[in-house]
Amino acid sequence: MLLYLLLLTQQYSGDGMRWYAMITGDAPLQLGGTARLLYPPLARLYFYLAHDILGLPASFALAQSMNALFGGAGIACLAYILFSFTRRWSLALGGAAALACSLAYSLHATDMTEPMPGVFLSLLALAFSVAYVTWTTPPRWLVMAAGASVGLGASIYQSNALTVVTVGAILFLCDAGAPRSRRLVNLLLCVAVAGAVALSLYVDAFLVTGSARTLPEAVAQSLKTEAETTQGIYAEISLRRVGVLIFGLGEALFGLRAIGGKSTHFFSQGLTPEVAWTVGLVAWSVATVALIFAPYAIRCAKLSDKGQRTVVAGLIGLLPGLCR
Amino acid sequence: MPLATLLIVLVVLTHEGLEQRARFMRTVFWAGLVVPVVFYGLLFNMVAGRITPNLGMQDTLDIAELLSSRDLIISDWGGTPYLIPSRPHSLSLVGVALEAQLNADDVQAQIQKEIEATVQRGGDVYFYLLLDLSEEEWNISLGQRVKLPYALLDDCRKNATPVMQLRLQTTFGRPLYLWKLNVNK
């Protein structure tokens, strides 16, 4: 958290800057559309508390600091999750440090972009579900808290709704000591709470702001996906997409400057040093992941039952993210 | 979130592997993943992002000095990606395309309507980012994704002149200008 606060970026993503006038109160507050519904009100509330109540000077950095706080809290959640699964602080801190310094995470944690508060809530939901499956006598409110966090996260950044798949997989697969019926009830309870929280926030927001006049209208607006509102311009199934997945890992971990906006055309200028560096980073990322899987693939190592369940739950959780 | 989920899987695999292949797993986890990502991320992303001023932001401040509230700025996503304090009217080509359900003729008509409205109120029309794109650059984003043909702005390309060179460049490193449309008032 401190690191993010010290290293708030001067790169200012346009995705975040477009909200700045609303965040400071210079422009009328509006909802962030279906995809980022509650982001502007949340950022405005934070800015109001920090500037108007606590007296901190208004600046881009003040607006960015909200993400630094959420980013740091999210990393703490991940460290807790990793420690709960492994009981090794070194692995928990190492894994958390890797996420904290990856481009995919630090980009948002040091700027005023929309995803960070929702990502924190998604990691919090995972932490609640992991607490439930690792504690000896876990209270059921942890399951409901996991669902509520997913629902709240989805109302800030819609695609966070996909976290319910990972949370559900953990609750169903990793709670090995519980009978199947109880695991199924927990799974359904979590999904129901997530859906109820998200839908009620969406419907209330649309009704309160006057975007919808009737309840059915508000529900219909709530169920509109980003793909619909953008005419599906980001939905794509193609060979290019496979390349994006492979390069996406290198981009998420390191950030690949030769790729920036060029997509599959980045070879058009030949094998420049920048392109070679990019290819090297992608190869490094893919090789590292492959090497961690390798001992199990070639049967030099075996997974315990608990390990198997956790890995399968994680892989299930990856599927919707990769299909987006 | 996919990266966080993948890291959970990788850490669990490393933990399980440590019992059986300790040296190998430890080396791959720390030397292959944690140390490079932390080192590269801190140095080339976070510290670099902190100390390097954003050229687009400086361009925006220059543009803001030139444009008045009567003017119109047409760009891919509307305005510039940053702040324009004087707040000229702005038109997002992508936004118009989405409203027109990706129908290029309707987009063309909407652009023309906005240009006429600007001229009527005594303002000038500017283009940001769009007229400098090569056909290849245009097709990567506006052509393939938003289904807008490169020829959509041919008339504007013929009748516009560059009024300011910007610090930013196009994706393929071509110079970027702010263009002003020459219209008969």
Domains in chain B: boundaries: 2-51, 55-181
Alpha-carbon distance A101 to nearest alpha carbon in chain B (angstroms): 5
Q: Tell me, what DSSP letter sits at residue B33?
A: I
Q: Average pLDDT for consecutive 10-residue bins of chain A (324 residues)?
A: 85 80 85 86 94 91 94 96 93 95 92 92 96 91 95 91 92 88 93 93 86 81 71 58 71 73 58 81 90 85 84 86 60
A135 forms bridges with which residues in the sheet?
none
**Measured distance CA(A150)–CA(A125) in Å, rounded:** 6
Which residues does chain A have within 8 Å of residue B73's beta carbon, measured at their own beta carbons? none
At CA B140, angle to CA B159 and CA A105, rounded to 5? 120
Residues 6+ apart with CB under 8 A from A273: none
Which residues does chain B have within 8 Å of residue A104's beta carbon, measured at their own beta carbons? 3
CA B48, chain centre distance (Å): 20
Between chain A and chain B, the number of residue pairs with CB atoms below 8 A apart is: 217
Alpha-carbon distance A98 to nearest alpha carbon in chain B (angstroms): 5
Which residues does chain B have within 8 Å of residue A253's beta carbon, measured at their own beta carbons? 3, 37, 41
pLDDT for position A267: 61
Which residues does chain A have within 8 Å of residue B24's beta carbon, measured at their own beta carbons? 295
**Measured distance CA(A100)–CA(A94) in Å, rounded:** 10
Domain ranges of chain A: 2-229, 239-323
Which residues does chain B have within 8 Å of residue A17's beta carbon, measured at their own beta carbons? 81-83
**Measured distance CA(A187)–CA(A180) in Å, rounded:** 10
pLDDT for position A237: 54
Alpha-carbon distance A179 to nearest alpha carbon in chain B (angstroms): 24
pLDDT for position B38: 92
The pTM (predicted TM-score) of the whole model is 0.85
Alpha-carbon distance B8 to nearest alpha carbon in chain A (angstroms): 6
pLDDT for position A265: 58
pLDDT for position A49: 96
- The count of other CB atoms within 10 Å of the CB of residue A79 is 22
- Whether B34 has a pLDDT exceeding 80, the answer reads yes
Mean pLDDT, chain B, whole residue set? 85
**ipTM summary value:** 0.89
**Measured distance CA(B156)–CA(B176) in Å, rounded:** 16
Which of A18, A91, A321 lies at the smallest CB-CB distance from B15?
A91
Q: Measured between CB atoms, does A110 come within 8 Å of chain B?
A: yes
**Cα(first)–Cα(last) distance of chain B, in Å?**
53
Q: Measured between CB atoms, does A85 come within 8 Å of chain B?
A: yes
- Whether B7 sits inside 8 A of A95 (CB atoms) is yes
pLDDT for position B174: 83
**Measured distance CA(A106)–CA(B45) in Å, rounded:** 8
Is residue B163 classed as helix, strand or coil in its secondary structure? strand
Chain B residue whose CA is closest to A93: B34
pLDDT for position A11: 81
Asked if A31 and A204 count as a contact pair (C-beta separation under 8 A), the reply is no
Which residues does chain B have within 8 Å of residue A250's beta carbon, measured at their own beta carbons? none
B175 forms bridges with which residues in the sheet?
B169
Tokens 């007229």, residue? B131
pLDDT for position A240: 56
Which helix (H) or strand (E) segment holds residue A88: the answer is none
Burial class (CB in 10 A: 0-12, 13-18, 19+), A264: middle
Chain B residue whose CA is closest to A115: B1
pLDDT for position A319: 84
Alpha-carbon distance B132 to nearest alpha carbon in chain A (angstroms): 15
pLDDT for position B84: 62
- DSSP conformation letters of A32-80: -TTTTTTHHHHHHHHHIIIIIIT-PPPSHHHHHHHHHHHHHHHHHHHHH
- Whether B32 sits inside 8 A of A288 (CB atoms) is yes
Q: Measured between CB atoms, does A10 come within 8 Å of chain B?
A: yes
Strands (E), chain A: none
Which of B28, B34, B83 lies at the smallest CB-CB distance from A20?
B83
B180 forms bridges with which residues in the sheet?
B126, B161
Least confident stretch, A35-49, A262-276, B93-107, B159-173: A262-276
**Measured distance CA(A41)–CA(A61) in Å, rounded:** 18
